[in-house]
Structures are given as C-alpha cells and as structure tokens.
Amino acid sequence: MPQSSRTKKSSERVGEAGRSPRYTQEHATSGLDHGFPEIETWPNQFPRYEIVVDDPEFTSVCPKTGLPDFGQIVIRYQPDRLCLELKSLKEYLQAYRNLGIFQENVVNQVLEDVVRWAKPVWAEVKGDFRPRGGISTVVIAKWPRAKKASKQTVSVHF
C-alpha cells in the first residue's frame, strides 16, 4: 500500500506533485547581475571622521512576488582618500526602484559597491524594510567582512 502524502518527506511531495520549488536559484540571485551606475567620488580633505547617508524612501521589488519593498537604507562609512558624491549615490540607489532583488541582497550589493567606489576605512549598510504581511526585516552588512561564516545580520520583527 503506498504511503500517504502526509507521511512522505516534503521534498518527495514537491517532486511527485510536479511542482517546482517555491524559491529557486534564479530568485536568490535575481538583480545581482544588474548593471548598476557608477557611484562617483571626490577627494577627502580630512582624516578620521564618519559619514552617514540616509535614504528614507528606498524601494525595490521582491523577485518572487513582484510586490514592492519599501525601506530605509543607511550607509555609514569612514572615508580614507575618497568620499561618495551624493547625487550619483542617489541615482545609484534609484536604480533599485523597479529591480527584482531580495532585501538581503540589496544591502550586501550596496555595501560591495560603496567599498568598490569609495575604498573606505570601514563601512556599514543597514536596510530597515517596512512590514509586509506583519513581518519587517532589518539587514546589516559590514566591511571589512567578518572572518567567520556569518556575513550579515538579519533581524525579523513582529
């Protein structure tokens, strides 16, 4: 007598039902290969200080559902020889507006690009995303990256 679908492993049920996984590798990497605009820089004139840039109206799109994600992106960094030019940073962040990309990937991609263009002493990017379905997400990525396996912090608030 065959097993009921209740007693089978969930991976077997999905495979036998002919359905594809809910989240695919395509979803996971969506948006990461986008051609983001350059973030311009200008020569720093002072040593040892911190810059904080706040985008309280950040938007992107969930690659799975196509629904908009609204949030606040805060970039903190200590410049070395270069500072981020704010108008080009604004244009860079607006490139995410209609892009299908997970919130965790947004924060890590912004960090990678800030480090790529400004080459700071250190940097941190925080994404505080508005609730959808009662769940909000806070993602924090830091550079230099931690030596341990944990590369990001994710907080979920109910």
- Active-site residues, by number, are 62, 69
Separation of alpha carbons 59 and 74, rounded Å:
13
Handedness of CA 141, 142, 145, 149 (dihedral sign): negative
| Helix (H) or strand (E) run with residue 62 in it | none
Tokens 């080459």, residue? 119
Query: Which class for 17: exposed (0-12), middle (13-18), buried (19 or more C-beta within 10 A)?
Result: exposed
